Amino acid sequence: MNTHEHTNEQSGGCCGSRKATTAPSTDAKGAKFTCPMHPEVISDEPGRCPKCKMFLVPVK
């Protein structure tokens, strides 16, 4: 069994790993998507931002 100790607990899980995220989805036809960090990036379909690779989110 592989066990280890942490002297400084980090948020996000063991050894700083982060929980896997999935792309947001929407059922709305004709929705627009944008990057939370780069609002100038607009897309007609979900995907990732070409600048920072974050998931695009539906425009509200």
Contact status, residue 23 vs residue 55, Cβ threshold 8 Å? yes
| Residue 9, domain member (yes or no) | no
Q: In terms of residue numbers, what domain contains 56?
A: 26-60
pLDDT digits (tens, 9 = 90+) for 6-58: 555 444 455 554 444 555 554 557 899 999 999 999 999 999 999 999 999 99
| Residue 15, domain member (yes or no) | no
Q: How many domains does the chain have?
A: 1
pLDDT for the residue 22: 53
pLDDT for the residue 11: 46
Predicted TM-score (pTM) of the model is 0.53
Contact status, residue 52 vs residue 35, Cβ threshold 8 Å? yes
